Amino acid sequence: MRPRRSRHPREVKAVHPYLLAAALALLTTAGAVLVVRHQTSTLRRALDRERAAARLTQTLQHRDITVLKARLDAARAEGAVLAAANHVLDTALTHHGRDPQEGGLS
């Protein structure tokens, strides 16, 4: 005959209180380390994103300033060309006996 199984679960042996405290402290420390590592990596990723955004902004600002300077230089050059052409026309009109202020040839 088979021995009858007890309906009660097996008794758990008593765990030494210091061993239980040490295991709980180890688990708590490991959990805290994991949380801190996760927070650190999250902050590092955020900082990397901010640095990338700052580099992009700086690059775009530099490009925009370069384009603006080129446009201003072109406008100044155009103004200088127009002033020189105006001077040439005024000189030619004066040379032919016409007053440049009257509007040229009539």
In a domain, 5, yes or no: no
In a domain, 79, yes or no: yes
32 and 25 Cβ atoms separated by less than 8 Å: no
What pLDDT was estimated at residue 106?
A: 46
In a domain, 14, yes or no: no
98 and 89 Cβ atoms separated by less than 8 Å: no
70 has a pLDDT exceeding 60: yes
- Which domain does 87 fall in, by range? 20-98
Question: In the predicted model, what is the mean pLDDT of residues 58-82?
Answer: 95
In a domain, 12, yes or no: no
Tokens of 20: 């239980």
pLDDT grade, residue 60 (50/70/90)? very high
pTM summary value: 0.51
Q: DSSP class of residue 101?
A: G
* Number of structural domains the chain divides into: 1
